Each structure stands twice: as structure tokens, then as C-alpha cells.
Amino acid sequence: MTQPKKPRQKNIKLTDIQKQYKKVNTYKTHILNEKENKVIRYYEVFDETRIQELIKEAYEDVVYAEENGLNTFKDVGDVSGDMKFIKYIYFLIIKHMTELKNEIVGNLEEKSRLFNQIEAIGLFHELMENVFLPEEVSKVLERVGNFALLANQMTEKEKEERQKALESVQHPLMKKKLEEGMNNA
């Protein structure tokens, strides 16, 4: 029995790249309320640059929350910090993948208030359930997970390197000062 033939391989061409680029930079329109003629424009396919901007903003907001003692991404009651963070990523998807990007500004507290308003009026669920393609949302979550994994690996490597450096110091007073500095870091 003969093997089925594989399709012939084709080199990607500049026109292919331009078509894909146009696709990721084209707004689609979703009708939110026909009576009031309210619509929202969004990107059906998520651009890698926008995803990177989203990840950068999420990272900066996590750092801000930690530096300011906010519970935004921490376990509170029955709600885990991980679930709060994922929901916040969904909010950032709404921000970065719709025309709301320039309107959703400010610090983490201000964005949290806006998120609560978007959720309260049902816009959050409308966009996440009826507008954004699940594979595009999954793509963002995968990139965020990869970033978090890499950041954790780098943190662990840094701790190992600090420990090695500490072990190489012979002078007791110098070693004590270094240990104190590492405990404060």
C-alpha cells in the first residue's frame, strides 16, 4: 500500500506576511445594544505585540501591588490569588484587544474600579463569552504562563547564585553582612 502524498511545501512570501499582519491589525465590530446602537470594536486575532504589552502591564501591576501592600492578587476568603490574577488578565485582554485601550488608564486601583464596573454592567462576560475567540484568549494565557515560569526560574537561579557567592566568602564579618543583606532582599 502506498503512503498518501504530503502536500508540497511552500515558502512563505511577503504577501503572506502582509495578509496576516493586516488580519491582526483590523478591528471587527460587535453590537452590544441594538436599540441604543452601542457597539465595541475589537481585534479578532491578537497581535503578538499587544500580548507583550499586556504581559508587561500585568507584571508592572503585580509589582505595584506588592510594593504598595495591596491584596489585589492575594488569596482573600474563598477567592485564590491565582483566580484573581487570571481574571485580571481577562480584563487586560479587554483593554488591549478593544478600542478601550486608551480609555482604561491609571494605576492599579483605578483599573480595578473600572474592571468592577465593566463586570457589573455585563460587558466583561459579553466580551469573554461572545466576542473573543477562545483560542486567542488561550494564546494570551499561555504566553502569561510561560512568562511566569521563566520569571520563577530566573528568581531561583538568582537565589542559587547568591548562595554560592555567600559560601565562597571566608571572612566571618563580611559573611554576616552579606547574609543580612540577602535576608533583607
Residues 91-138 pLDDT 10s: 999 999 999 999 999 999 999 999 999 999 999 999 999 999 999 999
Spell 144-156 as b/e; 16+ CB within 10 A means b.
beebeeeeeeeee
What is the crossing angle of helices 123-130 and 81-96, to 10°?
80
* Residue 78 confidence (pLDDT): 75
List the domain boundaries for the chain.
47-184
Question: H-type helices in the chain, by residue range?
Answer: 14-24, 48-67, 81-96, 108-120, 123-130, 134-168, 172-184
Q: Between vectors from CA 14 to CA 11 and to CA 19, what angle results, nearest 5°?
A: 105
* Residue 120 confidence (pLDDT): 96
Q: What is the total residue count of the chain?
A: 185
Which amino acid type is present at position 166? L
CB 51 within 8 A of CB 140: yes
Which amino acid type is present at position 100? L
Q: What is the pTM of this model?
A: 0.75
